[in-house]
Structure 1
Amino acid sequence: MESEMARSQREKVVSARPGAPPAGDEPAKSPSGRSLRGLDGLNFLMADVRDGLGPFLSVYLKGTQHWGSGDIGLVMAASGIVAALCQIPAGLLVDAVRAKRLLIAISGLLVAAGCLLIAFFPKLPTVLAAQITLGAASAIIPPCLAALSLGIVGHRLLPARISRNEGFNHAGNFTAAILAGALGQYVGVIWLFYLICGFAVASAVVVLFIKSREIDHDLARGSENPGGDAPHRPIAFPELWKIRDLKVFILSVVLFHFGNAAMLPLAGQVIAKVHPGMDVIALSACVIAAQLVMVVVAAVVGRAMRKGIGRKKIFLVALAVLPVRGILFSMTSSPYAVVAIQLLDGVAAGIFGVIAVVIASDLMRGTGRFNLAQGLMALAVGVGAALSNVTGGYVVEKFGFTAGFLTLSAIGGVALIFFAMFMPETTPREDHIAAPGSRSEDLIPTSP
């Protein structure tokens, strides 16, 4: 009953918009193989660029520069906080402009420049300034990639496209992790920074493969009737916030990342402290193992949605993993055990990467505010990650690593209960029956 009432409320808000089309009124999309391969390549290369150094920054500062956990948590949080502040403006910018390919290229190059600044000047003020730059630049990339995907393939094919995007994203992370581990172990940690620069430059070239004329910019912002004669008008902000499901979903995303984000950086610090010299290679193994799992999980999630399994059930699996992972991390300092436990992150993060974008698309369908919702979701990710890194870092300083992991585990349990109780299913009725051509492998046509 709650799900039907929530769905009715959302449809009422959307249908109240002047000129709103009937649900499901969307022409078939037939993007070229070149544009779709461009999306594949962009997701592969941007996997390493959009996150900067990620957990490797924590290991670099702890193992090489001998920073304290509190300062590490502070600079890790700085990027997330700035990114959080930039998310809504970034979503509005992606909605408004047509130069989405240029935005992605510039943002990636700024991330690369910030990473080089950290490498050459690893002092607290400099690293803070660089992290602020990275946070601002990286805010634009996820909503821009999602907008390009929706604008090219349309609503009906979006779940399969996002599943494919995440597969290439995790494959890119896997490749980058192998290179990072080899470079860090045999050449030097400084080469991790050069690696990101190489990926950034390559992504700026690959984005040119996407044909600009195949991007429907009304559709890319969540219009239900792209290409129509009447101009598309998005719903007003006050109307957007009447969608209860959106508020529940955003808070769920905050809680997910609050419980999840700091676990791997803290595990890396444990290894750097207990097994010095093994930190970079062990963390690389963690990332490699998790990314391999994520590639498989992304494909499985796509197939599950095509078979009619609801978005809520799939997301609950990801949330259930968090408490288990935190408890297991609290029980060991063995590098091999840490790598094994990190496989669970492959399940949770693999599910989140696909299902969160699809849920946002479901909630915003017909509102014209899809990219704003992407900004809100990224804001929630940034807030959750910042809270996780700051809380985890200072709990570890005061009470030790075991207390830090158990605190994050408890937060993950709260996220699971909250989502299960308050979030309804968002799968559109027409999507319960798999549409012809909706398989991810069908998104690569034979035409050039």
Structure 2
Amino acid sequence: MPDTPSKQKSLIFLSLLCFSLADVRDGLGPFLGVYLQSLGWMPDEIGFVMTAGGLAGLVCTTPLGALADHTKYKRGLIATSVLLIVVACGMIFSWNGAAAVTFSKILSCTAAAAIMPALTGITLGMVGQQGLPARLGTNEAWSHAGNAVTAILGGVIGYTSGIPGVFFVMALMGGMALFCLWGIAPRHIDYAVARGLNPDSIGHAALKSKKLYPLFTDKSLLVVGMTLFFFHLGNAALLPLLGQSAVARFEVNAAAYTAGTVVLAQTTMILTALWGAHIAQRKGYGPLFYMALLALPLRGCIAGLWNSPWSIIPVQLLDGVGAGLLGVATPGIVARLLQGGGHINMGLGFVLTIQGVGASFSNAYGGLFAHHASYSAAFFALAAAPCAGLALLTITALFLPALRHALKGEPVSTVIAVYTAHGLI
């Protein structure tokens, strides 16, 4: 599909969509934890509510990925999700009892589960497999820029009018997201390519796409999912606990400090995502995974050992490295592993489900350590989790040719053909 001026306009709207969705997709993000803390909630209570919402959203992630594969209304799917998230977050400030907050979190997490597969499908349908690594870097850079800008706005508004003011920033970004979806022309999305079908073999791939069971037994895909499980088990709770720890121990302003943590990390992620896309094009997604998995243990140890509010600087710089690299690597390696099968978005939903289990348990895992031991102990416990993911990825890549070569950046379809011809798989 040629890059006409009209298509370039759609790509610009795609960038702006990533910018605006960044704030909406995460709901209130770390601001929710410090808001509930201000209402007298304990760390473990906050962790359990976040875990409940995350687990509920996980139930829908893979089915919503399948929906993103099969529907041509991907823009409508994202629009519906945006509206539901804004409504759910607004409910928290109207009814902040345990049941109401839990229900709101469940609703927002469920709606957010549809965004990533649908957005990846739109991106793939617009640029194809060849242009995907570079475009993923661009998407991530705009996404992190959106998080940084809205965190600044949220911090300023939260400082002057309280954390509920952060909601109005999110609602504004939700409106911008709807406008950007309208600006992406449907004719610029190849819906066969968007689900992973090869343009030169649509008939054959369509037959393959009817078989779903190999998707859930693909060893390489499972390893990627479990690696991300361990990463997010250690990652998801670190920033909320860092904010809660600083408020409890150093009496910093909750809204301003939380905004500062977000801005610092997101600014780092912009540069890291662009650099990561360049590395992925040249050397594959493997280096991105390894650097992200190594950054998180270091991040947790610094948070646990440096008893100062200034620990935010190295901790969040490393957060930017890890999250920025995985934001490019995760959809990219799934698209590469499942190329030609017609279920890329469902496969991404499957991987995000496994990843989300880790992220959901992370809040309860970290919250229990913080409540029954100390915040420092919680940071050390979180730092240990990605080490298991690092070991898993390294060892299994030795025995799975498809995974090993996908990490190195070689087309998996070519690798499989060569190994099959030599009777190796």
**TM-score, length of structure 1 as denominator length:** 0.86
2:105 maps to 1:124: no
- Counterpart in the other structure of 1:421: 395
Q: Which moved more, 1:237-246 or 1:188-197?
A: 237-246
Tell me how far apart the structure 2 counterparts of residues 138 and 239 of structure 1 sit (CA, whole Å): 26
State the secondary structure of the residue aligned to 2:199.
coil
The AA in structure 1 aligned to 2:275 is V
Residues 197 and 205 of structure 2 are in contact (CA less than 8 Å); yes or no, is this contact kept in structure 1? no
Q: Deviations over 1:218-250 (max 9, x none)?
A: 111110126957782315122224432111111
The AA in structure 2 aligned to 1:172 is G
Q: Deviations over 1:224-280 (max 9, x none)?
A: 126957782315122224432111111111111011111111111101101234222
- Counterpart in the other structure of 2:418: none
2:214 maps to 1:249: no
Count of paired positions: 402
Q: Deviations over 1:307-328 (max 9, x none)?
A: x223112210000011111111
Q: Deviations over 1:331-350 (max 9, x none)?
A: 23422222332111000000
Q: Deviations over 1:90-119 (max 9, x none)?
A: 011111111111111110111011111011
The AA in structure 1 aligned to 2:353 is L
1:25-424 equivalence runs, <5 A:
30=3, 32-62=7-37, 64-225=38-199, 228=202, 232-233=206-207, 234-306=209-281, 308-423=282-397, 424=404
Residues 414 and 428 (structure 1 numbering): CA distance in 2 closer, same or farther, change over 3 Å?
closer
Q: Which moved more, 1:36-45 or 1:309-318?
A: 309-318
Residues 29 and 92 (structure 1 numbering): CA distance in 2 closer, same or farther, change over 3 Å?
farther
Residues 280 and 409 of structure 2 are in contact (CA less than 8 Å); yes or no, is this contact kept in structure 1? no
Tell me how far apart the structure 2 counterparts of residues 281 and 154 of structure 1 sit (CA, whole Å): 41
State the secondary structure of the residue aligned to 1:154.
helix
State the secondary structure of the residue aligned to 2:283.
coil
Residues 86 and 229 (structure 1 numbering): CA distance in 2 closer, same or farther, change over 3 Å?
closer
Residues 38 and 418 (structure 1 numbering): CA distance in 2 closer, same or farther, change over 3 Å?
same
Residues 151 and 217 of structure 1 are in contact (CA less than 8 Å); yes or no, is this contact kept in structure 2? yes
State the secondary structure of the residue aligned to 2:62.
helix
- Counterpart in the other structure of 2:415: none
Residues 326 and 408 of structure 1 are in contact (CA less than 8 Å); yes or no, is this contact kept in structure 2? yes
Q: Which stretches in structure 2 are left out of the alignment for 5+ residues?
A: 398-403, 413-425
RMSD: 1.7
The AA in structure 2 aligned to 1:270 is S
Q: Which moved more, 1:422-431 or 1:73-82?
A: 422-431
**TM-score, length of structure 2 as denominator length:** 0.91
Structure number with the higher helix fraction is 2
The AA in structure 2 aligned to 1:420 is T
Residues 216 and 226 of structure 1 are in contact (CA less than 8 Å); yes or no, is this contact kept in structure 2? no
Residues 367 and 378 of structure 2 are in contact (CA less than 8 Å); yes or no, is this contact kept in structure 1? yes
Tell me how far apart the structure 2 counterparts of residues 385 and 407 of structure 1 sit (CA, whole Å): 14
Residues 230 and 241 (structure 1 numbering): CA distance in 2 closer, same or farther, change over 3 Å?
closer
Tell me how far apart the structure 1 counterparts of residues 149 and 201 of structure 2 sit (CA, whole Å): 39
The AA in structure 1 aligned to 2:232 is H
Residues 235 and 296 of structure 2 are in contact (CA less than 8 Å); yes or no, is this contact kept in structure 1? yes
Tell me how far apart the structure 2 counterparts of residues 109 and 245 of structure 1 sit (CA, whole Å): 35
Q: Deviations over 1:194-216 (max 9, x none)?
A: 11111111111111111111111
Tell me how far apart the structure 2 counterparts of residues 277 and 315 of structure 1 sit (CA, whole Å): 34
Tell me how far apart the structure 2 counterparts of residues 401 and 280 of structure 1 sit (CA, whole Å): 20
Q: Which moved more, 1:388-397 or 1:271-280?
A: 271-280
Offset of 1:428 from its aligned partner?
Answer: 4.8
Tell me how far apart the structure 2 counterparts of residues 226 and 390 of structure 1 sit (CA, whole Å): 48
Shift >6 Å, 4+ stretches? none
Residues 27 and 85 of structure 2 are in contact (CA less than 8 Å); yes or no, is this contact kept in structure 1? yes
Q: Which moved more, 1:224-233 or 1:210-219?
A: 224-233
Tell me how far apart the structure 2 counterparts of residues 68 and 266 of structure 1 sit (CA, whole Å): 12
Offset of 1:30 from its aligned partner?
Answer: 3.2
Residues 198 and 205 of structure 2 are in contact (CA less than 8 Å); yes or no, is this contact kept in structure 1? no
The AA in structure 2 aligned to 1:429 is E
Residues 259 and 425 (structure 1 numbering): CA distance in 2 closer, same or farther, change over 3 Å?
farther
